[in-house]
Every structure is written in structure tokens, then in C-alpha cells.
Amino acid sequence: MPEVSGGELVAQVLARSGVDVVFMLHGAHIDPMYLACVDHRIATIGVRHEAAAGHAAEGYARAGRRLGVALVTAGPGVTNIVTSMANAYLDRTPVVYLAGAASAAEDELNALQSGIDQVAVARPVTKWAHRIRRVEDITRLAEQAIRIATTAPTGPVFLEIPVDVLSATAEARRAPVAESIRAGSRIAPAIDEIDEAIRLLRAAKRPAIMAGGDVYATGAWTELRTLARSTSLPVFAQFEALGTLPCDDPLWAGTFWQLSQLPRTVQPDLVLALGVRFGWHAPGFETALDAEIIHIEVDPKEFGRPRPARLAIRADCRTALGVFNDRIQLTDEFPDRSRWASELRETIASSIRTQAALSPSEHDGIHPYSVVETVCATIGPDAVIVGDGAFVKHWLDDAIACSRPGSYFTHGALGAMGIGLGLAMGARLANPDRPVVCMTGDGSVGFTIAEFDSMVRHNIPVVTVVMNNRSWARPDLIPRHSNKPYPTIGTALGDARYGDVAVAFGGFGRTVERVADLGPAIIEALSSGLPACIDVPIPQATMPAFSMRALRTA
């Protein structure tokens, strides 16, 4: 009977699951998996640090709405991707992390890259973590890992496969690969619950829709637009769900952060929260917003955060929205609330204009809002933007305008800095026909700055814009009780020229000191076809309008 190796079985499962790229950093413990992936023509994107492999797999999964895969060696390979696993866990990103390990024969022998319980390390930050001990179990357990990762609520899984198991062989008939690996994840709501939600929305004075990540993840934007337009309800959206209702639509209102800062006179009194995870993702409901909540979610653990919902419905967003639209056809017309939607838009726009008009106060750098506004206006509606860096992300939240979903990816609740270059690589490979721009801070870009080399080697033309205030954010601007001068030790950065770093790795680089030169520099970078970095000095003492207030109230 024909025999097959453990590494070959892993590659067969990945290929059968539709995986066409893995992000990895090579090591001896994973060599059999790596070689089998090459044999199956699964693209292997080699990075300079395992953290970037993990974040790139996240970006690929998020931007492509598909499974991401990271392949890392034993020991430090695993410890280096813990942040990515935690990030994916909190963001519900479906990533399979495949790790090597020393052989069982080397247990307690102080072998290379052994001596830690890798599964125990991964278990708190994954949906499932497991060690495969026999080559015959690889297909069954790898398939199980993929099903767990891709079933709602989606999230990361970790599989450890020792090198002796990867190198061993088994009869092919004893380790068959399933024809269909993924499980269905649609959860339908109860009809009476949807009818009650419709009744509440009709009766409310100022109801609004909040489109969370699940609206994007389930591909429910057509259903969302139908609901919004048939009810004239204004829509707020979060991150990758931005663009599920185009930002030039009259019913588009703003981001969740902007919702959290509305004056009470224009706040909603009821929100239909679709796949929303309250807290950092949707701030303000703890103290600033009194709106009642109709909460539609796949994960019942989210119900009751931050307070009990008026109505909690367990369902995936696409199925629930389909039922909503069917049932609304049987009811009377909704009141026209388009005037209130216009008032919301103008209130938010006025706040942004006020903050954007503030003058730089410490040096002649370009105002941060001018940077993000110019980038968003220059790159065009097809571009994907990745936001990385504490204040950079918040400036983007004020300026971003998306015409299609899946156009903006940024930090989740973990708040991990330095994820941008990895996310952008994954996003570009998931969307090869769309330009990808990573906007980051000078602090964040330093985490994985060597990934400019990875982008050059693998021809991944991401354009990176570094908003450079020569500082780790500005913690002295965050409200605190002490009037003592804030120390610069540990917060100040030097006068590095990040565009020159990209050039040194074989990419395109520029330093732009005038806002008039920024748009042309971005166009030149996009036209170069190279990984690019544009370094933009910004003032040190300007914080985003909505985030500054949210830090006080959320």
C-alpha cells in the first residue's frame, strides 16, 4: 500500500481546504511541512520575524474573509507568535497556527528548542490548542482545527506537530483526507424575536443601526443596505464593516467612536447592534450613551456587555438580516428618519472640522488630520487601508471614507502595536488587484521594520506612510491627576529616516515635509510597483478629536 509522510498529510489538508498561501519562518522542526507545501504549490511567504508571519496570516484572513495559516518552528518560533494568537483570539480571526516541536524521544533531554509546554502557552489565547502524537491522526486533527477556526464565532487554533511525527509515514488509507472539511456556521433567529425587534425600531424616536465585524465577515452588506434603505435608519459601522453602507450614502452616519461622542440631543435612543462587541470596539455605552440595545450576535457571551440588552437574539448577521428584510415587507412603512441622519452627519463633521483646524504647536510638521485626509483622498476608492499605531488609528477613524467593505483594518481590543506591516502583506496577497496602504506611527513601524525586505523578496507592493512625531505616542496628553512634567525617558524617539530604510531593503522611499508634496509622493510610490515607505513629520502635541474625548468617557 502507498505510504505518505506527516508533512505531506498536512499539505493535503491545507490544499483541500482551499489554502493557497502560508506565512512562515523556516526552522528544522517544520521542514517536512514546508517542503510538502512547496510540492503542493502552496505559496510560502517567508518573513523576517514570526510575529509578522502571524500578523500577515491575520491580515490575509481578515481581508480575504478566509482561513489564514502561519507556520512556525519550535520554541522561540512559538513564543514569537503569541501576540498574534492573542490578537486573532480577541478579533475572532480564523487563523491556524502550525508549530513544530522536538520529538517525543527527546523529552526531558534538554533538546534544542524544547522544554516548554507550547500547547499550554497557546491554550489561553486560542479557541483550541492540541499536540498531534501520531502520523495517522494528522488529517483528522488538522481538519478538526480548520472546522473550529472557521465556525462562528471564528478564531485562532494552534496545532503542535513534533518533527518525528512530521517525518514519519503511514499508509495513505489509514489517514484519508475528507472531501468536505469546513462546517456550516449559519444560525437562524426566531421569527417572533425579529418581529419584536421590528416593533421596537418602529416605535423608537431615534433608532440607528450599528454594523459590527460580523456584517462584514458573513458578507451581509447587501442585506444591510436593503434594511437601512427600507427603514431610513442611519448606520454606524466598525473597522472592516466600514463601507457596508458606502460613506457617501445619505444614511451613513459615522464610526462607533464618533457615535460614542454625540451630544445627548442627537444620540440614538435605540440601536440595532449587528455583530457588535461592546467595550473598546464600541465605546461609550458604559457611561456616555443611554440607548437601549437590540443585540444580534453569534456568541451569547457577548450579551450583557456592557449592560443587559432590551432584546438579545442569537444569530449570524447575514441570516438575521435576511429574515428582517422578509418580515419588514409584511409591516407598515417605517417613519422617515433621513433628516435625523443628516443631523448626525453634520454634528460629526463639525467636530472633525474643529479638531482639524487646530494649529501644530511644537514644530512645523504636517497636521496629522491633513496627512490622513490627503492619503484617503489620493489612494482612491479601491484601496485597502491598514491602520497601525495608537493615535494614527484614531486619526484614521476621523477621516476614513470607504465605498466598499473590507477596506479598513486596524487594531482590535488587544491594542497590539507593530501589526501593520504584517497585516498589510496579508491584505495585499488576499486582494492582489487592490492597492494597499499601511498608515503607521514611527513607534509601531519599528517593531517589524525588516519586513520591507520580505515585501521586496516576495514582490508585495505595500505603500507605508509613517506619521513621525519622534515619540511613542504622547502619554503626557492623556488626562491624568498629576501636574508634574511627564518624563521623556522611554517615550522619546530619534530622528530616524524610515523612507531610507525601505530604500536600503530595495524598496521606494521618500521623506515628505510639506502637505502639498504628500499626494504626489503617494502616487509615485503606488506607480513604482515597489514596497514603499513615505516618512511624514507631524507635530507632537495634537490628539484626535474623538479618541481624546473617548479616553475620558468610555
Q: Which of 143, 174, 205 is the last residue in one of the domains?
A: 174
In this structure, the answer to whether residues 339 and 426 fall within a common structural domain is: no
128 found inside a domain: yes
Residue that has been written with the C-alpha cell 514582490 in this structure: 459
- Work out how many domains the chain is built from and give that number: 3
Identity at 226, one-letter amino acid code: T
- Cα distances from 309 to residues 297, 312, 366, 514, in angstroms, run 11, 6, 44, 49
pTM for the model: 0.93
394 is annotated as an active-site residue: no
pLDDT at 492: 77
Torsion sign, CA atoms 250, 260, 58, 222: negative
> Catalytic one among 6, 7, 29, 238?
29
pLDDT at 232: 94
pLDDT at 475: 59
Adjacent-strand bridge partners of 100: 161
CB neighbours of residue 334 within 10 Å: 15
pLDDT at 201: 96
55 is annotated as an active-site residue: no
In this structure, the answer to whether residues 223 and 130 fall within a common structural domain is: no
Alpha helices in 71-137 (DSSP H): 76-79, 82-91, 118-122
State which residues form the domain around 283.
191-345
> Catalytic one among 49, 77, 100, 113?
113
CA 21-27-30 angle, to 5 degrees, is: 60
261 is annotated as an active-site residue: no
183 found inside a domain: no
In this structure, the answer to whether residues 162 and 281 fall within a common structural domain is: no
Ranges of the chain with pLDDT below 50: 362, 546, 550-554
CB neighbours of residue 513 within 10 Å: 12
The C-alpha atoms of residue 518 and residue 536 are separated, in whole angstroms, by 8
In this structure, the answer to whether residues 107 and 245 fall within a common structural domain is: no
pLDDT at 554: 39
pLDDT at 552: 46
415 is annotated as an active-site residue: yes
In this structure, the answer to whether residues 282 and 380 fall within a common structural domain is: no
In this structure, the answer to whether residues 139 and 210 fall within a common structural domain is: no
The C-alpha atoms of residue 239 and residue 387 are separated, in whole angstroms, by 10
Cell of 12: 493535503
> Catalytic one among 18, 304, 380, 415?
415
